[in-house]
């Protein structure tokens, strides 16, 4: 299976079942949509942000078709001005390359630094799809198991209304 070996070992240790799908590299939502069309799950867009000081980092998970307004998101999150985190920060905190961002990268956040904001609309889906820290495969896990995974790793998270 493609992806980080430690991720699969942790999913096994936590008894988190998953559905595995390989596909050509898909670094953007537009590319991924072609491979996701037959998946029976919610599809997610994952964006990694930093605050204006660069001392806080946030993983934002939202429904893949959502058009994100960063200024609106800043108001909703109440974390000050947000910018996309650099590739270096992405590797440092999530251990992934651009195009492979997902909550599974939290396995590499040993200090539990990254706070996760989850679009409350994703609660409508029983299963959610994410890259397993590479962009040429997709794992589908239950929404409840996603929360169990994040909780086990020790990262903080909250559900938030991302858009009207």
Determine contact, residues 103/61, Cβ cutoff 8 Å: yes
In angstroms, the CA 68 to CA 87 distance is 20
| Entry pTM | 0.92
Cα–Cα distance list, 67 to 45, 91, 93, 147, 162 (Å)? 10, 25, 25, 24, 10
5-160: CATH topology is YbaK protein (3.90.960)
Question: 39-94, pLDDT tens digit by residue?
Answer: 889 999 999 999 989 999 999 999 888 888 888 888 877 778 999 999 999 999 99
């Amino acid at each position: 299976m493609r992806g980080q070996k430690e991720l699969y070992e942790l999913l096994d240790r936590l008894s988190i079942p998953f559905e595995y799908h390989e596909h050509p590299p898909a670094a953007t939502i537009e590319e991924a949509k072609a491979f996701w069309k037959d998946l029976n799950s919610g599809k997610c867009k994952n964006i990694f942000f930093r605050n204006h000081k660069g001392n806080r980092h946030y993983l934002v998970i939202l429904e893949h078709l959502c058009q994100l307004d960063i200024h609106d998101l800043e108001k909703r999150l109440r974390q000050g001005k947000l910018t996309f985190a650099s590739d270096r920060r992405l590797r440092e905190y999530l251990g992934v390359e651009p195009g492979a961002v997902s909550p599974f990268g939290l396995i590499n956040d040993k200090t539990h630094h990254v706070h996760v904001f989850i679009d409350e609309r994703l609660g409508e889906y029983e299963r959610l799809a994410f890259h397993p820290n590479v962009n040429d495969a997709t794992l589908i896990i239950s929404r409840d198991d996603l929360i169990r995974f994040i909780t086990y790793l020790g990262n903080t998270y909250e559900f938030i209304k991302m858009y009207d």
